[in-house]
Amino acid sequence: MLDFLASHVFLFYFLIAIVGLVIGSFLNVVIYRLPILLEKEWRKECLDSLVEDETSIEQATFNLAVPTSHCPHCKHPIKIWHNIPLLSYIWLRGKCSTCAKHIPFRYFLVELLTCVLSLIVAFEFGISGTLVGGLLFTWLLIAITFIDLEHQIIPDVLTYPLLWIGLTYSCFGLFSNSRDAILGAAIAYLFFWVLGKAFYWVTKKEGIGHGDYKLLAAVGAWLGWELLPLVLLLSGLLGIVFGGGFLLIRKLSKNTPIPFGPFIALAAWVALIWGFDITQMYLHFFGIAWTNM
C-alpha cells in the first residue's frame, strides 16, 4: 500500500487533504466542546467539596461524541450533507440552514488550516515514520491555539499527550533523540518557570500562565533543546508584533491579557518543519558551522 501511494503522489496528497479536512471538522468539535466539558468538571468538583449531602443530579450526556452536531442557536441537528468540511460552509453562506443565524468563521478556518498544514507536513516528510508524528503535532497545536484564543486556557488533556507522544518518538530518534528531548522538555519548563517568577517578583502580577509552561515543555520534548532558542525568538517576535498590534488597534490597556499559546504553537510548528534550515542559515550568515547531532 505504501509503495502504491509512493508511486501515485497525487493520490497520496489527495488522501492527506481529505484526512486533513475530516480531522479539521473533528478539531472544531474539540475546540467548542472541550472547554465546556472542563468547566462542567470544575463545577462538579467545587459542588462536591462544598455540599456534604451529595445528591445525584441528572444531567444530559455531553461529551465529544454526544449530542450529535447541532446549531448552537436553535439546537437543530445538523444534517450529514450540511456537515461536509468547507463545502457546507460555502453552500450555506456561513448560516444555519434552519434559523439562518451566523456560523462562526472559525469553523471554516480550522478546517482549511488543518488541510493546508497537513499537506505541508506531508510534502516535507513524505511517506515516512515522521509523517504521522508531524500530523499529530500539527493537529494538537491547532486545537490548543484556538482554545487559547477563545478561552485563554491550554488544557492539560491536550498538552500532556503532546508531551508524552514527543518523548515516545524521541526513543526512536525520529525528531530528536531521547537525551535532547528530555533536556528540551526540562529546560523549556524551567525557563518559563523562572521567567514567570521573575515577572511576578517585579510586578506582583502573573505574566505567564502555567499552561504556557507545559506547552513549551511539550515542544521541547518534540524538537529537543537545540531548537528552543528559535522557538522562543519566533514566539517572542510574534507576540510583540501581533499581540502588541492587537492592543494598539483596539486601543486596549497594556495590562490586557493576551494568550501566548498561539505564538508558541506557530513558532513550534515552523521549527518542526524548517527549524534546522533556518538555524543553519542564521549561523551560516555569521560564519558559524553547526551540525545537528
The DSSP line for 151-183 is HS---HHHHHHHHHHHHHHHTTTSSS-HHHHHH
Mean pLDDT, all residues of the chain: 87
DSSP state of 95: B
- The model's confidence at residue 71, banded by pLDDT at 50, 70 and 90, is confident
Q: What would you measure as the largest C-alpha separation in the chain, in angstroms?
A: 71
User: Which of the two residues, 127 and 246, has the higher pLDDT score?
Assistant: 127
pLDDT digits (tens, 9 = 90+) for 135-178: 999 999 999 999 999 999 999 999 999 999 999 999 999 899 99
Task: Collapse the DSSP code of 70 into the 3-class scheme (helix H, G, I; strand E, B; otherwise coil) and give the result.
Answer: strand
DSSP state of 136: H
pTM of structure: 0.89
Lowest mean pLDDT among 94-98, 103-107, 119-123, 148-152: 94-98
Is the link from the previous residue into 67 a cis peptide, with omega within 30 of 0? yes
State residue 293's pLDDT score.
46
